[in-house]
Amino acid sequence: MTELTELTALQLVDGYRKGEFSPVEATRAALDRAAEIQPEVNAFVRLTADDALARARESADRWRGGEPAGLVDGVPVTVKDILLQRGTPTLKGSRTISEQGRWDEDAPSVARLREHGAVFIGKTTTPEFGWKGVTDSPLTGVTRNPHDPTRTAGGSSGGAAAAVALGAGPLALGTDGGGSVRIPAAFCGIFALKPTYGRVPLYPASAFGTLAHVGPMTRDAADAALLLDVIGNPDSRDWSALSPAPGAFSAGLPGGVRGLKVAYSPSLGGQVAVQPAVQAAVRRAVERLAELGAHVTEADPDLTDPVDAFHTLWFSGAARVTQSLGPRQRELLDPGLREICDRGARYSALDYLAAVDVRMELGRRMGRFHDSYDLLVTPTLPITAFEAGAEVPKGSGHRRWTGWTPFTYPFNMTQQPAASVPVGTDGDGLPVGLQLVAARHRDDLVLRAAHALYEAGAGITPGGS
């Protein structure tokens, strides 16, 4: 018999409907798995077992009565500790935030999940204020890779990715300001989607502005579509939220890729050095897209590396996050975060607006690119997971995490939907991710193509290949 922790959200809901098992059993299994993995992987800030089991019992009553509350009633879910969750402190990986407080409000995505009957089993780890592409913080220490605990899980949604990969809940909420759901998804071998900006409302507004997205992190694309159907609806607290999607994302999954025009850019026109194992795994998956009927062309977007402009936007946001901290509190910060905050505070308004100009031009160029191509395919990352506890790989020569994430942060600047799909492993058994990117508002195409890869067996599943 398949363990409950190995089932997707859709499989759990189907089992509840048929009476094969209950939300209480699924929740206990997820909590047990979370407790089991925590000492080695460190995916959680806290587990909320009592509340989770209470919600699971309520869900079980609804299913017995044939009246589930919504699409994910009784499904165990984790929430990145950047997002507000009623009744639970949100500490954002920082020793500068006190646990004392009312904690009486849900972020919009959490509120939608609550309305649909989801069971919240815990808050997952993040680097301090989500500032970097790996997950370690002064508050919670180092989060490790589920495939090799000596390696990083990636970040900043590293705890969420590790939890999903190891069966501690099939659905997770992450945030992505420069790759923060896609990076850990690629390193941990799961699926993650950064939706079009505004598709998932965000409140409170991020200090990183319109770079920051909320996205689903799941075992496969079908679960991500289900989760997006739940959380991708407007909320009056977010003035930039989009109107409802024209239809359910889940309903569009069977559309496949036949006839889609796909551009494959293995290295952004030679700008990025990609590990051979990564390059080979991504190319095999691209060939599978062609076999499924996509029209694949090797083509590079006009994407001169915008890292300097991204740094201006990102470091300014970090400075804004910590602006109110006094000298003693600043001493509590991650030293790397303190360094970029100091740099960000020195930018002028004109520096910031110049970076916005770069961003707008990048968006224009990608808009024109998608006049010719439905999808862009790249590696999610040029490397597989490196040593845990480091911001950059040893000997890489990189100064900041953006040095090894050139495929991810540009699409935060353009606000496009982008997903990471696991497509194999390297010689050490570490996962490789493929990135799918579409024009703004075409989240459906990204999910359709990802689902087609899963259906064709091109991906790896958490815990195996």
Q: Per DSSP, which regions of 5-118 are E strands?
A: 44-47, 76-80
DSSP state of 363: H
What is the number of other CB atoms lying within 10 angstroms of the CB of residue 438? 25
Residue 30 makes CB contacts below 8 A (sequence gap 6+) with 4, 5, 76, 121, 167, 168, 169
Domains in the chain, number = 1
Classify residue 440 as left (phi > 0), alpha (psi -120 to 50) or beta.
Answer: beta
452, 444, 413: which is closest to 199 by C-alpha? 444
Q: Which two tokens stand for residue 256?
A: 């496949």
163, 88, 173: which is closest to 130 by C-alpha? 173
What is the number of other CB atoms lying within 10 angstroms of the CB of residue 97? 18
What mean pLDDT comes out for the span 395-417? Answer: 98
User: Which residue type occupies 172?
Assistant: A
What is the number of other CB atoms lying within 10 angstroms of the CB of residue 95? 16
Give residue for tokens 């195996």: 464
Range 20-26 contact pairs with CB under 8 angstroms and sequence separation of 24 or more: 22/56, 22/60, 22/63, 22/74, 23/56, 23/57, 23/59, 23/60, 23/63, 23/73, 23/74, 23/75, 23/119, 24/53, 24/56, 24/57, 24/60, 26/56, 26/74, 26/75, 26/76
Residue 465 lies in a domain: no
Cα separations (Å) of 411 from 74, 96, 148, 249, 363?
A: 34, 31, 29, 21, 9
Instruction: Tell me which of 460 and 40 has the higher pLDDT.
Output: 40
- Give tens-digit pLDDT for 79-124: 999 999 999 999 999 999 999 989 999 999 999 999 999 999 999 9
Q: What are phi and psi of 118, to 5 degrees?
A: -60, 155
Query: In this predicted structure, what is the pLDDT of residue 1?
Result: 52
Q: Which two tokens stand for residue 361?
A: 């031009």
283, 182, 260: which is closest to 452 by C-alpha? 260
What is the number of other CB atoms lying within 10 angstroms of the CB of residue 38? 18
119, 130, 107: which is closest to 184 by C-alpha? 130
Residues pairing with 218 in the sheet: 171, 191
Distance CA 334, CA 331 (A): 8
State the chain's mean pLDDT as an integer: 97
CATH number at residue 112: 3.90.1300.10
Query: In this predicted structure, what is the pLDDT of residue 464?
Result: 40
Per-residue confidence at 313, pLDDT binned at 50, 70, 90?
very high
Distance CA 44, CA 73 (A): 22
Query: In this predicted structure, what is the pLDDT of residue 207?
Result: 94
Per-residue confidence at 458, pLDDT binned at 50, 70, 90?
confident
What mean pLDDT comes out for the span 403-418? Answer: 98
Give yes or no for residue 143 having a pLDDT over 60: yes
Residue 464 lies in a domain: no
Residue 14 lies in a domain: yes
Query: In this predicted structure, what is the pLDDT of residue 134?
Result: 98
Distance CA 302, CA 65 (A): 56
Residue 402 lies in a domain: yes
Evaluate the CA torsion angle 95, 96, 101, 107 in order and state its sign.
Answer: negative
Asked whether 230 and 112 are in contact (CB, 8 A), the reply is: yes
User: Which residue type occupies 355?
Assistant: A
Give yes or no for residue 5 having a pLDDT over 70: yes
Per-residue confidence at 33, pLDDT binned at 50, 70, 90?
very high
- For the chain, the residue count is 465
Residue 284 makes CB contacts below 8 A (sequence gap 6+) with 423, 424, 458
Domain assignment of residue 130, given as a range: 4-455
Q: Is the peptide bond before 68 cis (omega within 30 degrees of 0)?
A: no
Query: In this predicted structure, what is the pLDDT of residue 465?
Result: 35
Rg, C-alpha atoms of the chain: 20
Residue 39 makes CB contacts below 8 A (sequence gap 6+) with none
- Give tens-digit pLDDT for 195-249: 999 999 999 999 999 999 999 999 999 999 999 999 999 999 999 999 999 999 9
Distance CA 103, CA 242 (A): 27
Return the H-helix or E-strand segment holding 40: helix 23-41
Q: Which two tokens stand for residue 54?
A: 């209470």
Residue 394 lies in a domain: yes
DSSP state of 21: S
Q: Per DSSP, which regions of 319-449 are E strands?
A: 375-379, 418-425, 431-438
Residue 418 lies in a domain: yes
DSSP state of 195: P
Residues assigned a catalytic role: 80, 156, 180
Query: In this predicted structure, what is the pLDDT of residue 427?
Result: 96
What is the number of other CB atoms lying within 10 angstroms of the CB of residue 219? 28
Give yes or no for residue 169 having a pLDDT over 50: yes
Asked whether 454 and 436 are in contact (CB, 8 A), the reply is: no
Residue 460 lies in a domain: no
Residue 266 lies in a domain: yes
Give yes or no for residue 398 having a pLDDT over 50: yes
- Give tens-digit pLDDT for 244-282: 999 999 999 999 999 999 999 999 999 999 999 999 999
